[in-house]
A and B are shown apart, each in its own frame.
Chain A
Amino acid sequence: MQKGALWFLSGFGLALLIGWYAFPQLLYRSVDQPVQFSHAVHAGEAVGMTCDGCHAVSDDGRFAGIPTLEQCAGCHVDVLGASEAEKYFVEEYVRQEREVPWHVYARQPDNAHFSHADHVKVGEIACERCHGPHGTSETLRPFEENRITGYSRDIWGVNISGVKSNPWEGMKMDDCVACHKENNRRSACLACHK
C-alpha cells in the first residue's frame, strides 16, 4: 500500500469514528427523570391499571398526556409502598404541591398539532405503535436530550443513522407521513400545522 493511501485512509477512519461514535455522544446528553416510576407495578396485577387510566382521551377529544400531580395524589396522598422513589415523590412533590417537571420523550414542536383522539379512538392505533411497549418497564430510562434542538432522542430514533428496527422508533414528520401513506390516509399540511 502506498504511503499516500495510508494518510487518506487514516483521515477516512478517523472521520468514521467521530461521525458514528463521538458525534452521538456529544449530540445527546442524558438526563434522569426527576422521579422514578414503574409502569410494571401500576399496570400489573397488584394495582391493575390500564394505559388510559392515566393517559386518557376525554370526551371532547383532548388528550391528558402525562398525568398531573392532582391525578397521582389521588392515590399517593401518603406513601403506599416501600420504594424510595415513591417516598421521594410524596415528600418532594405531593406534600409540597409541586408538579413534577417530567422530561417528555414524545414532546413535539409547538407548530405540530397531533390528535390522540383521531389516532387512538378513530384510527384504532395502539399506544405501542408510536410509544413502544413501555407498559411493563420497571424504571424510567434517562431522557436523552438533543443539545441543539432540545428534543428527545426518541423523535429521531435510537439509531443515529436513522435506520429503524421497530415501528415505534422515530416520531418525525417523515414518520407520520410514511405511516399515513402506508395506511392510505391524507397528509394535508394544515391537518397538523395549525
Chain B
Amino acid sequence: MPLTLTRRNVLKFVGGSIAGMMVTPLPWKLLDDVAIWTQNGPWIPKVPRGPITTAFSTCALCSAGCGIQARCVNTIPYALSGIRNHPANNGTLCPSGVAGHHLAYHPLRLKSPVQLFRREETIEVQPVSSEEILGKISAAVAISRNAGEGTLALLDQRPGRSVSLFYRNQLAMHGRGVYLVSPTDPILITQCLDEMVGTSFGPVGYNLERVRTVLSFSAPVLDGWGTPVQTSKMLAHRGSSGQKGARVIQIDSRYSRSAQLADQWIPIKPNTEAALAFGLAHVLLREGLYDKALIQSRALDFQTKGKHSYFDLVGRFTPDHTAECTGVSRDVIVATARALAAQGPSLVIGDGDSGGGPLGREAEMAVWGINILLGALGSNGAIVHHRAVPAPKEFSANGLSPVQGVSDIPDHSIGVLLIDASEQGDPLPWSLLERKLIPDQSLVVAFSPTLTGLAQHTHYIIPTPAHLEALTDVPTMLSSATGTFSVSSPLLRRPEGTMDAREIMGKIFEVEGTLEELLKQRTSAIFESRRGRVFKASTGSSVQLTELGSSDELWAELTAGGMWMDDPVRSKPLPEFHFMGRSPAAYERMLDAGEGISSSNEPDAPRKITVLPYGRRAEVGGAQLSPLMTKLYQESGLHRSSKVAVLNPATAKEFNVANGGRGTLVTERGTQEVTIRVDGAVMPGVAEIAVSPEPVGQAGTEIVQEQDILELIVPDQAPTWRAFRATLQKA
C-alpha cells in the first residue's frame, strides 16, 4: 500500500505531529525554560558570586531610623532585615525598607546630569555637564542677591538632617535665601505651637508610654506613623485601656488601616477636622473638663473683653453645629470629649497622612488647643520636651534661615529653586510650588537619584547617590520622646557622576568640606555633650555615651547600625500663649477653618466629586518604593494604584459608573483616567485615590511622566490638599 505524498497527507502528518507534541514535555518544558532564561538573561544585573558577609547600617527612607542588617554577596547587599533589639525597629522592617537595596537599580535611576524637556505626556532628557548646571545656578544665585530680583529658595524634602543645617546656614548668609519644607512636614506642626506661645517652645515629642487614650485626626498612628517599635506596642496593647496601653480613637474620612485597627473609628466629612476639634473643645469647656487655673493664668486670648476670644470661637461649635459641619453625631462628639477627659492621660494627634496632605495650620492649632485643655503639655502629659540634637557651634554662630512652609511665601517670588530630593520625603503637589515661581524666568534644579516626583518638573537634575549608596544622617522623628541621631552609611558603591547634596551646595556657595566631615563634626558635638545612650548593633544592647572613649568610637558605632538617644528632660511649664495664634486676623482664620470656608470648598456642582488622596509615609515617593514592591502591592491589592478611584455604591450609581468600569477625573490642571472600584466603606460623594508611584515607561531618552492624582490639584491659598473637587465622567 503505497503512501502518496499529497498536500492532504502532509497536513495530516503535521496535524499528527502537533497532536503528538502536545502529549510530550517539549512545549511545556520549553515554555518554562524560556521563562527562566528571560529572568537570567545577560541584560539582568546579577550579584557577582563571592563571600557572604553581614553589614549594618540605618535605613534613611523615612525618619524612623530603623537599623538594618544586610546580607551581602561580594559586599553587595542582596537581603535586608532589621537589627534585633534596635530601639526603633527591634528586628523588623517595613516593606519599603526590606526592598530598599533595590532602589539603586530603579528604572528611572540617573547617573549623569540631565536637562529636561517636557512634552505633553512625556519628558525628554538630554545629557548635560554638571559644570554647566552649576554655572547656571551660581549665576542665578548671584543675581538673586539683588533686591527686586526673584529670591533663592531651597526646598528640603527631608528637613532635620545635618545637611539641612548647612543649607539654612548658607541661605542665611546669602541674605535673600529662603529655606522651604513641604506643608506636610512635621516640623511645621511644632511651628504651630511656637506660633501659639510666641517663641520657640523647643522640640517636642510624644511619650506614648504615658498615654491611656489617643485621639488621632487622620494620622496613620497604627500604620507607619511612628517607629515600628512604637506601632507594634500600640497595636499589641490597643483596647486594653488603663492597663498596658492606649485606647486608640481614629477620626478619619476613610476606613483607613488605622481606622480598621483602632478601638473606635469616627468617620468625618472630608476637611472638617478643625470643626470637630473646636466641637470637642466646646464640650470640654462647657463641662469644665479642663485645668481652669492653668488656662486662666496662661491663655491670653481665652476670654478677652472687646475682642473675639477662643471662648467665643469654641462657643459657636456646639455639638449640634459641629455635628452639622462634620457629619459626626452630637452624642459621639460629647462622648469622645468626655472619654478624653476621663480616661487620661490623653493625647490628640494631628498630622494627617503623608499623601493626603496636612490638616492645615488652623486645624493643627485647634488640635494643640485640645491638648492644652487636657493637660497633655504639662509635666505629666504625653507631649514631652526634648533637647535638640547637638550641632557644631559654627551653625548657630552664622545664623540659620527660618523654616518656612511652601505656602508661607508670596506667589511669583522665587527666581531660583533648588530641590533637594536626594532623600524623598512627603509628596507635594507641583501646582503649589509652581505658583511660587516667577513665570518663565525661574531656574529649577533638583538633586535627585531618580527622575521621579518633583524632579520631573525641573529644568535640570544633578544625580545624587541612591538609598544605601549615600552617607546621610536620620533626623529625629516627631513621635520620638527624646532626640535621636543615627547615620545611614553606604552599603553600595555610588556611581561615578553622582554628587551628594553637600558637594553640590559646596560648589554653588564655594564652601570647602564634605558630608562625612559635617557628620563627623555633628558626632563630635554629640560626644562632647556627654549625654544620652548609644545602641550598639554589634551587641544588640545600649550603653551610656560616657562609656565610649572617643568621638571616633561613637562614629564607628553610628555608622554600623547604631543609634544615639538623648536623655529625657523634664518638660518646661507652658508659658503664656494664644489659643488662636498671634496673627491679627487669627479669630477669622480659625473660624473660617472651622466653618470650612475656602475657595476649594465650592458649592456642590453636578458631576463633581470630592477626591480624597491618601498615602502612607515612605510609600508615596517614587524613589522610596522599589519597583518590585509597586508591582507586588498593586497585583496583590495591598496598596491601590493611583489609577483606581474607589467610590461608594450610591455614588457610583449617581455618576453612572460601574465597578471595574473606566472614568475620567477632570480639573483645570488636567485629566486622569481611572478604573472604578466600588466599596461600601467609602463615604458617599467622594472618590478615594491612592498617592503612589506607578510603573513607568521609558523609550530611549523619552520618559513617560508619572501621572499622580496630586497633579490634578488646583492650587488655592490653603496649604493642604486633603480634599479637592473634580468632575467625574464615564469614560
Contact = CB atoms under 8 A, between A and B. Distances in A.
Contact of A7 (B13, B23, B46, B78): B13
Interface string B1-40: 1011000111011111111110111100110011011011
8 A-B pairs with least C-beta separation? A19-B24, A11-B16, A15-B20, A194-B79, A8-B16, A12-B20, A11-B17, A12-B16
Contacts of A24: 25
Interface of B: 1, 3-4, 8-10, 12-21, 23-26, 29-30, 33-34, 36-37, 39-40, 46-47, 52, 54, 78-80, 95, 98, 632
A3 B39 contact: no
Nearest to B28: A162
Interface in A98-142: 109-111, 113
Interface in A10-28: 10-16, 18-20, 23-24, 27
B98 A146 contact: no
29 contacts: A7-B9, A7-B13, A8-B15, A9-B16, A11-B12, A11-B15, A11-B18, A12-B16, A15-B16, A15-B17, A15-B18, A15-B21, A16-B24, A19-B20, A19-B25, A19-B26, A20-B24, A23-B24, A62-B52, A109-B40, A110-B46, A110-B47, A113-B79, A149-B36, A149-B40, A156-B29, A160-B25, A161-B25, A194-B98
Contacts of B632: 189
A15 B24 CA distance: 8
Contact of A14 (B17, B34, B78): B17
A4 interface: yes
Given A7-B16, A11-B13, A148-B36, 19 more contacts: A3-B3, A6-B3, A7-B9, A11-B17, A12-B17, A12-B20, A15-B16, A15-B20, A15-B21, A16-B20, A16-B24, A18-B21, A23-B25, A23-B26, A150-B40, A156-B29, A161-B25, A190-B98, A194-B80
Contacts of A182: none
Contacts of B21: 15, 18-19
Contacts of B25: 19-20, 23-24, 160-162
B36 A12 contact: no
A109 B79 contact: no
A194 B102 CA distance: 9
A17 B95 CA distance: 49
B13 A8 contact: yes
A143 interface: no
Contacts of B40: 109, 149-150
A27 B36 CA distance: 14
Contacts of B19: 8, 11-12, 15
Interface of A: 3-4, 6-16, 18-20, 23-24, 27, 60, 62, 109-111, 113, 146, 148-151, 156, 160-162, 189-190, 194
Contacts of A151: 36
B54 A60 contact: yes
Contacts, number: 103
B78 A110 contact: yes
B12 A4 contact: yes
B24 A18 contact: yes
A27 B29 contact: yes
Given A27-B29, A148-B37, A113 B20 contact: no
Nearest to A172: B32
Contacts of B46: 110
Contacts of A194: 78-80, 98
A22 B606 CA distance: 70
Nearest to A190: B98
Residue of B4, B36, B80 contacting most chain A CB atoms (<10 Å): B36
Residue of B13, B16, B39 contacting most chain A CB atoms (<10 Å): B16
B29 A111 contact: no
A181 to B, nearest CB: 19
B19 to A, nearest CB: 6
Contacts of B1: 3
B20 A11 contact: yes
A16 B16 CA distance: 10
A5 to B, nearest CB: 8
A61 B4 CA distance: 69
B386 to A, nearest CB: 35
A72 B80 CA distance: 32
A172 to B, nearest CB: 9
B111 to A, nearest CB: 22
B101 to A, nearest CB: 8
B561 to A, nearest CB: 15
Nearest to A4: B12
A190 B93 CA distance: 12
Contacts of A10: 13, 16
B45 to A, nearest CB: 10
Nearest to B23: A16
Contacts of A111: 39
A24 B47 CA distance: 30
B11 to A, nearest CB: 9
Nearest to B79: A194
Residue of A12, A62, A161 contacting most chain B CB atoms (<10 Å): A12
Contacts of A160: 25, 29
A146 B34 CA distance: 11
Contacts of B80: 194
Contacts of B47: 110
Residue of A14, A19, A161, A189 contacting most chain B CB atoms (<10 Å): A19
A150 B40 CA distance: 9
